[in-house]
Amino acid sequence: MQLHEALTSTGAIRSFTGEPVEPAVVYEILDTARFAPSGGNRQGWRAIVLEDASVRRAVRDAYLDAWHDYVAHGLAGLVAFSPLADEEERRAAAARREDAIDLSRPEGFAESLDRAPVLIVVAVDLATLAATDRDLERHQLVGGASIYPFVWSILLAAREHGLGGVMTTVAIRNEATLVAALHLPANWAVAAIVALGHPGERRRRLRRRPVAEFARRDSFDGPPLASA
């Protein structure tokens, strides 16, 4: 597969067939993904491949509980867990939680997460992150630059093996539960959960904004960047 095709066609896949994925394939995926860049090349990640059914269920339960909150935000017309949300918006989302639970269905991705052919929890050693926005008076995000390229590389490497998947961060709302289930040491955090498998849905043409809508010249309000 050519790089351009991979980059423009690797969408989120949340439905999988029952076909298993061999452990050797998972190893090869991680063996490729490990070349992702990270700050200072410190590679502060730990990939935890979940095989034990009880651990998988614990992760699913943490995910599903947070998923109800995620859906509740949408029902309230809000962006889920926006760092700019005020107390009124938080209360509005909380008020829709029971409605979100009522929408739950057994075959949903959240409800069946533990049955994904491959589940990988990506944890990060906070001591390895150069979070240059640490002291700014806004929501921190820069530290993710040292971990999410690795997660994206997992998805791209999986695509090469004919697999599909998705990165999700929803369960991190219940990180304490994940920490206990996965025996994470102090100063480690959960960065993402990756579900992989043989796609159970047809790949769709990805839709994204054209370059002229998000790229500007010289300043935020500068003229749009045009093709040569």
Give per-residue pLDDT as tens, 133-171: 999 999 999 999 999 999 999 999 999 999 999 999 999
pLDDT per residue as tens digits for the range 52-102: 999 999 999 999 999 999 999 999 999 999 999 999 999 999 999 999 999
Task: Output b/e per residue, 209-218; b: 16+ Cβ within 10 A.
Answer: eeeeeeeeee
Ramachandran region of residue 102, left (φ > 0), alpha (ψ -120 to 50) or beta?
Answer: alpha
What is the sign, positive or negative, of the torsion defined by CA atoms of 115, 207, 83, 187? positive
Q: Is the pLDDT at 201 greater than 90, yes or no?
A: no
The answer to the question of residue 65 being in a domain is no
The answer to the question of residue 64 being in a domain is no
Identify the CATH number of the domain in which residue 162 sits.
3.40.109.10
202: confidence class by pLDDT, cuts 50, 70, 90: confident
The answer to the question of residue 81 being in a domain is no
Which residues are paired to 167 by β-bridges? 194
99 contacts: CB under 8 Å, gap ≥ 6: 72, 75
Average pLDDT estimate for 217-225 = 95
Give the per-residue pLDDT at 59: 98
What domain count does the chain have?
Answer: 1
The answer to the question of residue 28 being in a domain is yes
pTM: 0.94
The answer to the question of residue 155 being in a domain is yes
Structural domain including 8 reads: 3-53+111-214
In contact, 130 and 211? CB cutoff 8 Å: no
The answer to the question of residue 30 being in a domain is yes
Strands (E), the chain: 45-49, 118-125, 164-168, 188-197
The answer to the question of residue 158 being in a domain is yes
Q: What angle do CA 220, 222, 226 make, to 5 degrees?
A: 115
Which residues are paired to 81 by β-bridges? none
Q: Is the pLDDT at 227 greater than 90, yes or no?
A: no
